[in-house]
């Protein structure tokens, strides 16, 4: 056997998404007539929000000292970029500081968020 099949990878991605019990809206800054405003992009998406850098972000921790860090996991293919804002179902606001690069066998998309408002 030489690795995982596409079918197996799809099944793992689907199973992981089932464990994303949270929901969030993603907002992106749009420049209109020189002024920047945030607007919601797309529909509400599933997510999992975990306090701290987790082991996946240790290499970035030095760059982001002093922020209230959260690892936010979205289904693979979610449209989220550095600088976006994420609002969860509890009204908390997170600023996306970094998006983990996706490789062939990733099962989800992870971002590093800074909590900027704990409603």
pLDDT mean over 92-108 = 90
What's the distance, CA 64 to chain centroid? 16
* pLDDT of the residue at 106: 86
pTM of the model: 0.84
Identify the residue whose tokens are 């992870």.
Answer: 110
Domains detected in the chain: 6-117 (2.40.10.270)
pLDDT mean over 11-20 = 89
113, β-bridge pairs? 70, 96
Mean pLDDT, all residues of the chain? 87
- Compute the distance between CA of residue 52 and CA of residue 67 in angstroms, rounded to an integer: 10
């Amino acid at each position: 056997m030489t690795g995982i099949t596409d079918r197996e990878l799809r099944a793992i991605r689907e199973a992981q998404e089932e464990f994303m019990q949270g929901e969030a809206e993603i907002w992106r800054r749009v420049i209109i007539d020189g002024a920047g405003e945030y607007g919601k992009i797309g529909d509400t998406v599933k997510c999992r929000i975990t306090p701290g850098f987790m082991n996946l972000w240790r290499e970035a921790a030095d760059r982001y000292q002093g922020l209230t860090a959260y690892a936010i996991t979205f289904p693979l293919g979610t449209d989220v970029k550095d600088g976006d804002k994420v609002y969860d179902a509890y009204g908390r606001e997170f600023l996306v500081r970094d998006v983990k690069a996706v490789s062939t066998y990733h099962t989800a998309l992870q971002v590093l968020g800074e909590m900027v408002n704990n409603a």
